[in-house]
Amino acid sequence: MDTENDKHIFFNTSFDHSKKEFAFVISIYRTPKENAIERQMYLSKKISDYFNTRTIVPFKNPEEPNDPYYDIIFENGKAFLSDDLDTSFADGSGGLVKIISEYKLTIYNFDNLARLYESQ
C-alpha cells in the first residue's frame, strides 16, 4: 500500500454490533473534493442496488439546511428521505431511522477517473 501517493484512494470498513440497523460502515478517503456529495449518493445507490440491501447517507435537506438529522436511504432502487434523530448514530438512544417519504433525487454517474459525466 502506497500511502505516500496522493492519487491513491483508501477505504476501511467497520461493524458496530450495538447498532440496530446500518451497523456496517464503509469509509472512503482521498476522493476528489469536487462532487463529493454526488459521489456519496452514487456509491450508496450502487451498493444498495448491487447487494440488494439498504444503505444510508447523510443528507442536507434543502428545505431545512440547518437540521443535521436528515439522511437518504436507498432501498429497492428508490431513495427515501429519513430522520435519524432518535437513533444510535445520532443521540445514542438506539431507535430506528424514520422514513419520512420517498424522495426524488438526481443520481450522477462517474467515469473511471472519478469525474462526474452525466445525470440519470
Residue 80's pLDDT band, with cuts at 50, 70 and 90, is very high
pLDDT score of 109 more than 90: no
Residue 16 included in any domain = no
Grid coordinates given for 69: 438529522
Length of the chain: 120
Phi, psi for residue 37 in degrees, rounded to 5: -65, -45
Residue 37 included in any domain = yes
Q: Which residues contact 23 (CB under 8 A, 6 or more apart)?
A: 15, 16, 17
CA 81/CA 93 separation, integer angstroms: 20
Residue 26 included in any domain = no
Residue 113 included in any domain = yes
pLDDT score of 3 more than 80: no
Q: 75: number of CA atoms within 13 Å, CB side?
A: 13
pLDDT score of 113 more than 70: yes
pLDDT score of 103 more than 80: yes
Helix (H, G, I), strand (E, B) or coil at 55: strand
Residue 56 included in any domain = yes
Pick the more confident residue, 7 or 77.
77
- Please give the tally of structural domains in the chain: 1
Residue 7 included in any domain = no
pLDDT score of 120 more than 60: no
What percent of the chain has pLDDT above 70? 92
Q: Which domain holds residue 59?
A: 32-119
Instruction: List pLDDT tens digits, range 11-61.
Output: 899 998 888 888 889 998 888 788 888 989 999 999 999 999 999 999 999
Residue 15 included in any domain = no
